[in-house]
């Protein structure tokens, strides 16, 4: 039986790292949602980097750069972090470099896992299928906000865990996974309303991004499975 | 209006530290419950220390030592971490040094708060009254288990937050506090049953401590308010 672990902040990852594991990177608002959209629209690869300086270096080498800090697009960047930025016209066939406030930090934290994949409501069915096809433990890595716990990533972790428990040979082996599932169960029929009380929704709203929320909370709009090539440190489609 | 913040692991404390704050140290199973019991039975002071070596140094200087690692009493210690160990006969008038797996780590993490107090179901009414009497932000510091999220501390944070919201001029200002309250609401009428599925309950049960659970989950058995004297680094009663 495989374990389902949930890590509420990138800072906590070392305390959840388990052998034979797939780390699911979750940043529903909005990095992992946007990465799925970019692949759905034909992007060739996505590289996540921690600093804007590193992103600028890649831009100088001809890559397209998505860069966001505190919900806002960085001036030098080609894209911010809105899924609507990544149209087929702009991204098809392109190598994209991503740096965001929280999502890229989660990717770095999870590097010691055997496999690293991208998770969002946008690709939940594809991701469920992939996790079910492997005999591995699953570590949900919630990006949170500046290392704090956040609702939207936790609820996604609960949604994915619920599917894995229903369809596969998994067990919930930490209190955090149990809490994520319980929070998902009480919110799933009224998700948008619940999320609207969260810290990050208010932040998005304040900065004029609340119209992206519906997209970010909808299942299977971008049915892809981005997986990390750990040698090259880029995500490509499976 | 004062804020209620909830930090699910000592590791996350720096991301929740706020000015003008009282840190409530929570380790329901069992450190903070036992500390309340010790004071209720007449202990003069409690000093929390991180290492067993430091605890042994204090023991050589004549202090009574409570020391636990992975739910078990350390061989050299006068007490383990069971609230039933701290009888009036043993602790009345005594200075006690405490080192436990998780609770003492939380005290160290929270040292930068203006005030540090001990919280458990055992002293929840006393603690609520104290928090209401101050115009300060409240940071709930869940000790967790080896830096992981844990249910029992989270549910206590939810219980305390619910009381503060009902009776005082507080607002929930982070997603973690909102989650703690929501989890408390769905479990409070069946707390023991819910907790029995948690990681730490199973660990206590395996090591023969499950009979302590009822005591640890009961309100107001030890109506005291241990508060840290930051200069002397000891807890005494307010």
**What is the tens place of the pLDDT at every residue in A105-130?**
999 999 999 999 999 999 999 999 99
Helices and strands counted in chain B (H then E): 10, 11
Domain range summary for chain A, segments of one domain joined by +: 2-233
Cross-chain Cβ contact A174/B9 below 8 Å: no
Q: Which pLDDT value is given to residue A199?
A: 85
Tell me which chain A residue has its CA closest to the CA of residue B10. A12
Chain A residues with CB-CB distance to B16 below 8 A: 148
Judge whether residue A50 has pLDDT over 90: no
Q: How confident is the model at residue A238 (pLDDT cuts 50, 70, 90)?
A: confident
Chain A / chain B CB contacts < 8 angstroms: 82
Cross-chain Cβ contact A11/B15 below 8 Å: yes
Cross-chain Cβ contact A8/B182 below 8 Å: no
Cross-chain Cβ contact A151/B175 below 8 Å: yes
pTM of the model: 0.96
Tell me which chain A residue has its CA closest to the CA of residue B200. A175
Predicted complex ipTM exceeds 0.85 = yes
Q: Which pLDDT value is given to residue A204?
A: 85
Chain B residues with CB-CB distance to A16 below 8 A: 148
Chain A residues with CB-CB distance to B191 below 8 A: none
Chain A residues with CB-CB distance to B182 below 8 A: 183, 186
Tell me which chain A residue has its CA closest to the CA of residue B195. A175
Chain A residues with CB-CB distance to B179 below 8 A: 149, 151, 154, 179, 183
Rounded CA-CA distance A130/B151 in Å is: 30
Q: Count other C-beta atoms under 10 Å from residue B207's C-beta.
A: 11
Average pLDDT over residues A34-60: 96
Instruction: Write the residue in A12, A147, A154 that is nearest to B179 by C-beta.
Output: A154
Beta strands B95-99 and B45-48 are: parallel
- Element at B88 (helix H, strand E): helix B88-91
Cross-chain Cβ contact A12/B15 below 8 Å: no
Q: Which pLDDT value is given to residue B203?
A: 84
Cross-chain Cβ contact B12/A149 below 8 Å: yes
Best mutation target among A148, A155, A165 (most B Cβ atoms within 10 Å) is: A148
Q: Which pLDDT value is given to residue B101?
A: 84
Q: Which residues contact A79 (CB under 8 A, 6 or more apart)?
A: A64, A65, A66, A67, A73, A85, A86, A90, A96
Q: Which pLDDT value is given to residue A102?
A: 87
Cross-chain Cβ contact A147/B12 below 8 Å: yes
Residue B144's region, left for phi above 0, alpha for psi from -120 to 50, else beta, is: left
Q: Which pLDDT value is given to residue A222?
A: 98
Q: Which pLDDT value is given to residue A201?
A: 87
Q: Which residues contact B101 (CB under 8 A, 6 or more apart)?
A: B68, B69, B70, B71, B145, B146
Chain A residues with CB-CB distance to B18 below 8 A: none
Chain B residues with CB-CB distance to A13 below 8 A: none
Q: Are A81 and A73 in contact (CB under 8 A)?
A: yes
Cross-chain Cβ contact B174/A9 below 8 Å: no
Peptide bond into B198 cis (omega under 30): no
Q: Which pLDDT value is given to residue A223?
A: 97
Report residue B201 as tokens: 């309950």
Phi, psi of B118 (to 5 degrees): -100, 130
Report residue A153 as tokens: 């990533």
Partners of A235 in the beta sheet? A46, A228
User: What CATH architecture is A2-233?
Assistant: Alpha-Beta Complex (3.90)
Q: How confident is the model at residue A26 (pLDDT cuts 50, 70, 90)?
A: very high
Chain A residues with CB-CB distance to B141 below 8 A: none
Average pLDDT over residues A59-85: 93
Q: Count other C-beta atoms under 10 Å from residue B27's C-beta.
A: 32
Interface of B with A (CB under 8 A): 6, 8-9, 11-12, 15-16, 145-151, 154, 173-176, 178-179, 182-183, 186, 197-200
Q: In the CATH hierarchy, which top-level class contains the domain B2-237?
A: alpha beta
Judge whether residue A229 has pLDDT over 90: yes
Per-residue pLDDT of chain B (238 residues; tens, 9 = 90+): 999 999 999 999 999 999 999 999 999 999 999 999 999 999 999 999 989 999 999 999 999 999 998 888 999 999 999 999 999 999 999 999 999 888 888 999 999 999 999 999 999 999 999 999 998 999 999 999 999 999 999 999 999 999 999 999 999 989 999 999 999 999 999 999 999 888 888 888 888 888 899 999 999 999 999 999 999 999 999 8
Best mutation target among B3, B29, B145, B148 (most A Cβ atoms within 10 Å) is: B148
């Amino acid at each position: 039986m495989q374990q389902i672990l949930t890590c509420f902040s990138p800072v906590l990852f070392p305390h959840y790292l388990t052998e034979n594991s797939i780390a699911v990177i979750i940043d529903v608002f909005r990095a992992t949602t946007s990465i799925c959209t970019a692949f759905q629209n034909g992007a060739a690869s996505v590289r996540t980097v921690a600093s804007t300086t590193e992103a600028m270096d890649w831009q100088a080498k001809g890559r397209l750069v998505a860069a966001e800090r505190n919900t806002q697009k960085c001036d030098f960047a080609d894209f911010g972090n809105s899924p609507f930025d990544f149209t087929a016209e702009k991204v098809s066939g392109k190598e994209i470099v991503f740096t965001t406030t929280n999502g890229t930090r989660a990717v770095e934290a999870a590097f010691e896992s055997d496999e690293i994949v991208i998770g969002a409501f946008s690709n939940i069915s594809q991701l469920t299928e992939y996790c079910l096809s492997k005999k591995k433990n699953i570590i949900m890595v919630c990006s949170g906000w500046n290392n704090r716990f956040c609702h939207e990533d936790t609820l996604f972790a609960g949604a994915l865990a619920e599917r894995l428990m229903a369809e596969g040979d998994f067990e919930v082996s930490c209190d955090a996974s149990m809490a994520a599932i319980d929070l998902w169960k009480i919110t799933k029929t009224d998700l948008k309303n619940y999320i609207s009380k969260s810290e990050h929704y208010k932040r998005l709203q304040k900065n004029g991004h609340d119209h992206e929320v519906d997209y970010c909370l909808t299942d299977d709009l971008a049915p892809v499975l981005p997986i990390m090539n750990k040698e090259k440190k880029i995500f490509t489609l499976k």
